[in-house]
Structure 1
Amino acid sequence: MAKLILIDGSSYLYRAFHALPPLSNAQGEPTGALFGVVNMLRAALKAKPDYVAFVSDAPGPTFRNQLYDQYKANRPPMPDDLRAQVEPMLAIVGALGFPILRVGGVEADDVIGTLALQAHAQGIEVEVSTGDKDLAQLVRPGVHLVNTMTNTTMDNAGVMEKFGVEPSQIVDYLSLTGDTVDNVPGVPKCGPKTAAKWLAEYGTLDNLMANADKVGGKIGESLRAALPQLPLSRELVTIKTDVPLDQSVTELTFRERHVDQLRELYTRYEFKAALKDLDAESAAAPVRDTHSPGTSTEASRAQGALPQKSSDAPELSMAGQYELVTTQAQFDAWMAKIATAPLVSFDTETTSIDSMQADIVGLSLSVEPGHACYVPLAHDYPGAPAQLSREHVLATLKPFFEDASRPKMGQHAKYDINILSNYGIRLAGLQHDSMLESYVWNATATRHDMDSLAKKYLDVDTIKYEQVAGKGAKQIPFSQVDVDTACRYAAEDADITLRLHHALWPKLETVPSLRSVYENIEIPLIPVLASMEQRGVLIDVNELRMQSQQLGKRMLELQQEAWKGAGHEFNLDSPKQLQAVLFDELGLPIKVKTPTGQPSTNEEALEAIADDHALPRLILDYRGLAKLRSTYTDKLAEMVNPRTGRVHTSYHQGSVATGRVSSSDPNLQNIPIRTDEGRRIRQAFVAPEGWVVLAADYSQIELRIMAHLSGDEGLLKAFHEGGDVHRATAAEVFGLKPEEVSANQRRAAKAINFGLMYGMSAFGLARQLGVDRGEASDYMARYFSRYPGVHAFMEATRQQAHRDGYVETLFGRRLYLENLTSRNQALRAGAERAAVNAPMQGTAADIIKRAMITVHDWLGTRNDDAHMLMQVHDELVFEVRKEVVDEVRAGVIERMSGAAKLSVPLLVEAGVGKNWDEAH
């Protein structure tokens, strides 16, 4: 099939101008935008289309200005430096042999739309090379968009994935959202998600307008107020497809290149790589550019040719070539590289692992495997060389970092997002994270730090931090590492990160379910967690100090009771003294031993003898309070950030095999809730004046997932009837009416319901209920006879685990279980228990991650009146302005409930209070 490429020259020019630094040649003529356009055009030449056109806006007003005199009224005039590059651009385009089309009275989009539909009608495949979202309305079978800056293609499915609507709905979508750049009015406060939701429900703008009275809330009021101007907005965003043209599609062929003119232009504007290629090749051959999108390793990746093992890809294990960037010319050259790179790997070097208090020392960039640079910004040792200004470098990079259309990647990029946020940079366009690529591919195969991944997937031994900065008391700050050594270490980070992507991404591409988990859950979650970390949570330090005093007083009382029970004073914190008291003096039975054969005094050992004497329980209570005090009531007050006045935890995506997010420094997920003292700590998590705490929690989510996955009719019925599922289970197991179930019978049913998900044995159930093993076995037998689907699911899951070596969540996340074939019966049984539990726990993790993404996006459309602060197991915690709490609570419940479609209701309970304890 013949092919037509339509190049949106206006889009090319503006994007290149804003993406690149203000480059100039020796005569002072601006060249940045020109450089970017030339590189993109040279890439387009490689496609060898049958027909091609370079379409650019003509000077003067268009018909849209006549329709609406405020059209593009807010857009500033073209900068002088950009205007000066238009004519040179057209000269180079013409010399390269591209037909150039500029039609007065309309925009370039209208010319492109007319040619695209003419070609489509003639059976010619159409590729529109652009970064303009408006052109998505042209997409249909045989017509697609290509973004040469990101090397991505958008077809029907791509439009749906990006915008949430069909290509045929893009005009209505843009009418609703409006366009601030072109000053096209939309519906106030209607963002992309709302527009897509409305069109999914009503189909068309006309139908939505006809049913506007059915849309509730403030957004409904905005819609109704905007009804009079929506037809105009639609006319403004609709691309004309009937522009009279002097040339037909089949006349748009390449002209012969003017080599001498190109050489003159390339020489004048100092395009050395283009000039070198021109001199090296014949005039008829396509220009070669190893830095253009779609070539070299990027092209082989796109064609599926990149091997998946480092042994098959020696280029991923090669020695790196790293450049120390200390001059403006070097930095400008790297800005030019990242302007046209299909993917940029970056990394920051800082003064601290605490991202909320760290300063940037330098940053590294890589655009192709084996090549990277390091830009030192704040190395301050005696004799350190002159370095570029940190403020200047970050200001220059800010447009790149904040451009969502420019794909970027990192290794544990959330840290770098937080670092950049300290300098007012909001990173957008994060497309990959090598840590998460490894984590999703196989969470248990290795640790997911860069050094471990480089060794496993690339067979590369990386430079360790201690090798450049020392360790222990002799370790120096990175700012005092000499810049040459720092370059080898830091540039390697960016390079290895990009190499890992080239090794791991092809693996994920072979398994659609894993790719979906990565692209739709893990990557979108990064900015959500980063935002939560940056916001932090407000702590009442005085409340914590009071609690510490109360805990200390109670610990002293327990100590006195323990001394009384022992008959003398001893150090409760000394295992050796405790061992002597318990086993030598009191003669209590030794039920647990240490690896060396000594009597153990750990928690398990004390629980085992807690019924034999009062002292073990006193020690357990004492230790519990001591842990609360040291971990929370004393420590949290010390962790308040002096800059923000809040406590900022760190969330970890790549640490729990089932997909759960974990928390550290402080660990907010381990605050006990089963004791009064543990729950009281939550009273210190407070809201600012005029705000409240909102806590929303999934109810029995893993049990609901069990019902969905097993399809057991009895369990499904219990949830659909909406009553007490544990009481319903007890009624089934004991053959009673629900109202006849005793408290102990309900407790037994609850223990079975939750215990089975964790592979609990009859022995474990007997211990938990305080009954003999035979009675516990009888309970379990009755349970499975009443819920046969649960038993069948558990057996099928075990069989799948043994067959495949892994189990999956509802969304396709895999958990590999290495000990399923172990000769050690205990290890093998543990792996089988994990196999049964992982689909429930992993699906619950996926659901709350999906909810966090959806809720975060929704909150971003509001007026800064609510913030997500914490994720603790199946609970999300927010601070909300008092006056909107009912609206936010309803919105949060709606989005959390809609995070998955199960065969039972996904119930969310939400409470409000002045502190977390009141809200929970």
Structure 2
Amino acid sequence: MTTTAPLVLVDGSSYLYRAFHAMYKADLRNTKGEPTGAVRGVISMLRRLQKDYPDSPIAVIFDAKGKTFRDELFDQYKAQRPPMPDDLRLQIQPINDIIDAMGLPRLVIDGVEADDVIGTLAAQASGDLPVIVSTGDKDMAQLVNGHVTLVNTMTETMMGEEGVKEKFGLPPNLIIDYLALMGDKVDNIPGVPGVGEKTALALIQALGGIKDIYQKLDQVPELSIRGAKSLAKKLEDNREMAELSYTLATIKCDVELELDLAALTPTEPNKEKLLALFQEMEFKSWVEELASGEAEQGGDPVAAPASNYELVLTQEAFEAWLKKLDAAALFAFDTETTSLDYMQARVVGVSFAVEPGEAAYVPFGHDYMDAPDQLSEGQVLGALKPLLENPDKAKLGQNLKYDANVLLNHGISLNGIAEDTMLQSYVLDSTASRHDMDSLALKYLGHSTIHFQDIAGKGAKQLTFNQIALDQAGPYAAEDADITLKLHSELSSRLEKHSPLVSVYRDIELPLVPVLSRIERNGALVSREMLAKQSQELGEKIQALEAQAHDLAGGPFNLSSPKQLGEILFNKLEIPVIKKTPKGAPSTAEEVLAELAHDYPLPKVILDYRGLAKLKSTYTDKLPLLIQPTTGRIHTSYHQAVAATGRLSSSDPNLQNIPIRTPEGRRIRKAFIADKGNKILAADYSQIELRIMAHLSEDKGLIDAFANGEDIHRATAAEVFGVELDDVSDEQRRNAKAINFGLIYGMSAFGLGRQLHIGRNEAQQYIDLYFARYPGVLRYMDDTRKLAAEKGYVETLFGRRLHLPEINAKNGQRRQAAERTAINAPMQGTAADIIKRAMIAVDAYLMDEQPKAKMIMQVHDELILEVAEEQLEAVTNKVEALMAGAASLNVPLEVGLGVGDNWDEAH
């Protein structure tokens, strides 16, 4: 080789897994739902190496499939490693294709590992030129010498001989001995039992390598090592294991390779192929580099974009921005506040962006010591109020519902909510784990934003925004507006390719933002006194159950300790173990106790105890703490961009989980009361998912049953069990109800059998009878599975798309779970769309006609309103009509209505 630049050998297998896990939380995917995080991570690392070593030959080495010589030496070698995750397996081929298109040699040698190929190439090159080994694997430290250096591009660290000594306390030539003594759990190298990192290090530092240690075993008891007296015998008894471990840990540096160093010379990149691959992966910044023809080789794909951010401290500068905002067809807007609690938060500054890269932050509430002079709150918000309240001035934001809520604390009603990037991302792919701005910027723009913790700190010492210095607050806040504007451009272009998704976004999600804001601000009136009384009574019942459990166990124990409970159940009482935890301990999980409770009294008591303790801690104790002192009401937060199906979720408190199946749970709903002169109106869709199933499957039997107003569970029982409607027993109806709901949730015969306490074969007969009577349902399920496998997603009646990344997974359990989701998601998602459409319609009626009524909660398929008694009949009739008309199905939408002084009475 003619080059004098170092040879760079990349441990591809090491970076493959590290990149996958590093990018796992960001859950990067393209619009097809295909995972792309590992691809991005590995290729970013290679591009970084190309930039750092522009004149170097770079080769990428991966492990080959199949066994190696180490497996022949020790059949348990790497036996504990879990199989490659499906999301990672899907990314192997794209990574290989991109590396090849980059012109980089890619090596995979059968019978040996990537480490051995790297070791051999490093040995071959060390006489001619320096070698850089790019890896995150500690085993590679044994290769380091005067010619070989390790570099970790993910941590930006280099390690030569002195670096190895500093990190491990040993020179490179003793790393194998170190690994052999302590073993390696990742590779399942056994080592010497009882010898960990500290003991291995102390032994080697005192006596030398393994050969020296075994020659000096008589000196081991005299060493200042914990357990030194018994250590010599452990070493002697496990000598063969130590020697085997030494062989397993040694990187082979004499592999017979059918290539020489000259073959590692890179070729010219295939830019056309690279462009196509980057477009398929949707790596926008890299696509732009290649498409523009201006990109330098390598380079950091997450470089900060050019920006012009302004900190506005004068009236003159502020007025200049007001003119820009007034002239803009759309501007990005964001608030910076003192708290995440929208009822308590105060705005301390606002940011805007009108063009990509052009943004400003206008502070007025930063009150730290030595803070520079700022415009006043009255100057800023007073000037902005007409603009923000103007419905004809289009605003863009990221989670604008929060901004709308906090502005109300300053007497400003935000109108003109035209775009929301959080909702755009959610509609594009609801299965993505995160829709926050930082994650979206990384996913869609390849840009790493300034994180709040970077400027505010962490934990108890974290600053509120008013305490943050303006030289840090300004760029952070302005970037928020700028990135929101750039994200909108990117997400809009993706959404516009799918008109049904545009409709979901424009007609359902965006109009719902002000509706939810109003419901949150309305809040629900809660009786503190009633909750206090319930909490006391629950405490007394919990104490009684604890005493009962102690009697049954034959002595006191901590009922909240799984370990102590396991000892009592499975050792002392000798109850059979029916399931174990991943670590091998007998499980005391709820489903295990529920099964044991059929035959043993203590598990039943434990379940009752857990249920009441959760009610007390989660609701009767906590709800009073969430009552806002200024309103006397609880103000939950509704989340549009969490549940994959489109359903709303809520927090502080989570209203969706307030239990209803037990008397104690229902009593909590009694504490949600109507104000004086009002009643609670609860309007609940009846069996909406079964009605949607009838519509989607077009099954004549189901459609007729609903059209005739029949009790669907009784009708199903009559069909399945072959009896007249009037002759259906209560037990047959219960079984039919379990079948109706079980099948739409993808329940198997085994699951149905467990629920009905019958055998699997009998349960399968019920299912077969059901499908024989309702063949349209079976046809719908089969067609849905096939369509989902072809497209990778399913859709609701209104076009909401639900991606299924594991619908074609090789792992049978994951694939079957995805198939169950494919069947149920269109029903759950359509139900979510319908209740949202109903909320929008009811809110429009309340806003237009101004009756003495307000929506105060939404839970599952139910809307809860607080209505003045004198207008109860009119409001009830109108709400029923609007909800029934929220969708047009082949079967009628039926709305159950209830009225009472509290939520439980109304429900």
**Smaller-chain TM-score range?**
0.5 to 0.7
> 1:310 offset after TM fit, Å?
4.2
- Pick the aligned partner of 1:351 from 316, 326, 338: 338
- Pick the aligned partner of 1:581 from 551, 561, 568: 568
> 1:309 offset after TM fit, Å?
3.5
- Pick the aligned partner of 2:544 from 551, 557, 560: 557
CA shift digits 1:463-522 (9 cap, x unpaired): 111100000122112111101100111111111111100000011111110000000000
CA shift digits 1:113-161 (9 cap, x unpaired): xxxxxxxxxxxxxxxxxxxxxxxxxxxxxxxxxxxxxxxxxxxxxxxxx
What's the secondary structure of 2:361's corresponding residue? strand
1:710-859, aligned counterparts within 5 Å? 710-859=697-846
1:341 and 2:328 matched: yes
- Pick the aligned partner of 2:392 from 388, 405, 412: 405
- Pick the aligned partner of 2:284 from 292, 309, 319: 309
Q: Distance in 1 between matches of 2:432 and 2:711?
A: 41
Residue identity matched to 2:751: G
8 Å Cα contact 1:547/1:633 also seen in 2: yes
Q: Distance in 1 between matches of 2:696 and 2:825?
A: 12
CA shift digits 1:627-672 (9 cap, x unpaired): 1111111100011111211100000000000000001010001011
Aligned to 1:663: 650
1:895 and 2:882 matched: yes
1:381-460, aligned counterparts within 5 Å? 381-460=368-447
- Pick the aligned partner of 1:510 from 470, 489, 497: 497
What's the secondary structure of 1:372's corresponding residue? strand
> 1:369 offset after TM fit, Å?
1.1
Q: Distance in 2 between matches of 1:666 and 1:445?
A: 24
Aligned to 2:138: none
What's the secondary structure of 2:683's corresponding residue? strand
1:488 and 2:463 matched: no
What's the secondary structure of 1:685's corresponding residue? coil
How many pairs does the alignment contain? 614
8 Å Cα contact 1:807/1:814 also seen in 2: yes
Q: Distance in 1 between matches of 2:412 and 2:807?
A: 47
1:521 and 2:479 matched: no
Q: Distance in 1 between matches of 2:603 and 2:691?
A: 38
What's the secondary structure of 2:656's corresponding residue? coil
CA shift digits 1:598-632 (9 cap, x unpaired): 11212122123222311111101101001111111
* Ranges in structure 1 where 5+ consecutive residues have no aligned partner: 1-306
Aligned to 2:458: 471
What TM-score results when the alignment is normalised by the length of structure 1? 0.66
Q: Distance in 1 between matches of 2:710 and 2:771?
A: 21
CA shift digits 1:203-249 (9 cap, x unpaired): xxxxxxxxxxxxxxxxxxxxxxxxxxxxxxxxxxxxxxxxxxxxxxx
CA shift digits 1:718-762 (9 cap, x unpaired): 001102110011001111101111111111111111111110000
Q: Percent of pairs identical after alignment?
A: 58
CA shift digits 1:320-342 (9 cap, x unpaired): 22100010001001001011112
Aligned to 2:130: none
Aligned to 2:296: none
1:860 and 2:847 matched: yes
Q: Distance in 1 between matches of 2:616 and 2:756?
A: 31
CA shift digits 1:764-806 (9 cap, x unpaired): 0000101000110000000000000000001111111000000
Compared CA separation, residues 346 and 633, structure 1 to 2 (3 A): same
Aligned to 1:531: 518
8 Å Cα contact 1:317/1:459 also seen in 2: no
1:639-718, aligned counterparts within 5 Å? 639-718=626-705
> 1:572 offset after TM fit, Å?
0.9
> 1:317 offset after TM fit, Å?
6.4
> 1:446 offset after TM fit, Å?
4.4
* Ranges in structure 2 where 5+ consecutive residues have no aligned partner: 1-281, 293-302
Compared CA separation, residues 864 and 425, structure 1 to 2 (3 A): farther
8 Å Cα contact 1:310/1:317 also seen in 2: no
1:324 and 2:314 matched: no
> 1:370 offset after TM fit, Å?
1.1
What's the secondary structure of 1:861's corresponding residue? helix
Q: Distance in 1 between matches of 2:415 and 2:643?
A: 26
8 Å Cα contact 1:454/1:496 also seen in 2: yes
CA shift digits 1:290-332 (9 cap, x unpaired): xxxxxxxxxxxxxxxxx99344457996232210001000100
Q: Distance in 2 between matches of 1:677 and 1:851?
A: 31
> 1:592 offset after TM fit, Å?
2.0
1:82-97, aligned counterparts within 5 Å? none
What's the secondary structure of 1:362's corresponding residue? strand
8 Å Cα contact 1:457/1:500 also seen in 2: yes
Compared CA separation, residues 446 and 319, structure 1 to 2 (3 A): farther
1:594 and 2:581 matched: yes
1:170-319, aligned counterparts within 5 Å? 309-313=284-288, 318-319=305-306
8 Å Cα contact 1:859/1:867 also seen in 2: yes
Q: State the superposition RMSD in angstroms.
A: 1.3
Aligned to 1:94: none
Q: Distance in 1 between matches of 2:699 and 2:680?
A: 38
Q: Distance in 1 between matches of 2:422 and 2:449?
A: 15
Residue identity matched to 1:466: Q
Residue identity matched to 1:644: T
> 1:687 offset after TM fit, Å?
0.9
Aligned to 1:186: none
1:911 and 2:898 matched: yes
Residue identity matched to 1:526: V
Q: Distance in 1 between matches of 2:286 and 2:902?
A: 55
> 1:862 offset after TM fit, Å?
2.8
8 Å Cα contact 1:696/1:876 also seen in 2: yes
Q: Distance in 2 between matches of 1:460 and 1:330?
A: 29
8 Å Cα contact 1:345/1:367 also seen in 2: yes
Q: Distance in 2 between matches of 1:912 and 1:652?
A: 27
8 Å Cα contact 1:356/1:422 also seen in 2: yes
